[in-house]
Amino acid sequence: LETIRQYSQERLWEAGEVARLQERHWTWYTGLVERAGLDVLGPQQVAWFNRFEREHDNLRTALGNLLERGEAEIATRIGGGTFWHFWLYRGYLTEGRTILERILAQFSERTSARAWVLLNAGLSARFQGDSTRATILLEEGLDLSRTLSDPQLIAYFLYSLGELRYSRGDYEQATTLYQECLPLLRELHD
């Protein structure tokens, strides 16, 4: 099979079709992750995670091609969404964090897409014990979410920073952050 794959790839290069097929590939896998949406956090989580596990190499390839081609904004649709939970719960946190950091390095526009990637990257850093990097990412994300006036993002960043402060023994600051995020979460029925 490897010989057939190599031959086919050579033919694609010769025909000038590689870029077009890469784009079709990442479009399909971006759509897959977007179709999963919030189901990744609900009763269908195991089914989606199993599907992502089967498609993991394809998802890696799609993200790699996006970042190699400078299409980080499209990559945010995967890395800034609920797909991050797959990396977390299936033991791919280092891989996910590396991809998220690459997205952030390439995509500097101050949008909600960047804010979601900052949140996922900040949480990844925190879960890996890198509280310094987590603080930087989460504080940048909080600032951005306040600029965007996005109550959901503001609440999630406040909560995440509260968790970080709490884990470091700064209970007073954690309480302040929790108290600020609680009314926002209630308004959102979260």
Residues 141-178: pLDDT tens digits? 999 999 999 999 999 999 999 999 999 999 999 999 99
Phi, psi of 130, rounded to the nearest 5 degrees: -95, 75
pLDDT of res. 102: 97
Task: Give the total residue count for the chain.
Answer: 190
Residue 76: closest CA among 57, 63, 90, 92: 63
DSSP alpha helix (H) spans, 55-111: 56-68, 72-79, 84-89, 93-106
Residues 21-32: pLDDT tens digits? 889 999 999 999
Question: Which residues of the chain carry a pLDDT beneath 50?
Answer: none
pLDDT of res. 83: 93
pLDDT of res. 2: 82
Taking the C-alpha atoms of residue 118 and residue 104, their distance in angstroms, rounded to an integer, is 7
pLDDT of res. 76: 95
Taking the C-alpha atoms of residue 7 and residue 70, their distance in angstroms, rounded to an integer, is 27
Residues contacting residue 127 through CB under 8 Å, at least 6 positions apart: 88, 93
pLDDT of res. 96: 96
The answer to whether 159 and 181 are in contact (CB under 8 A) is yes
pLDDT of res. 32: 95
Note the pTM of the prediction, 2 decimals.
0.90
pLDDT of res. 8: 79
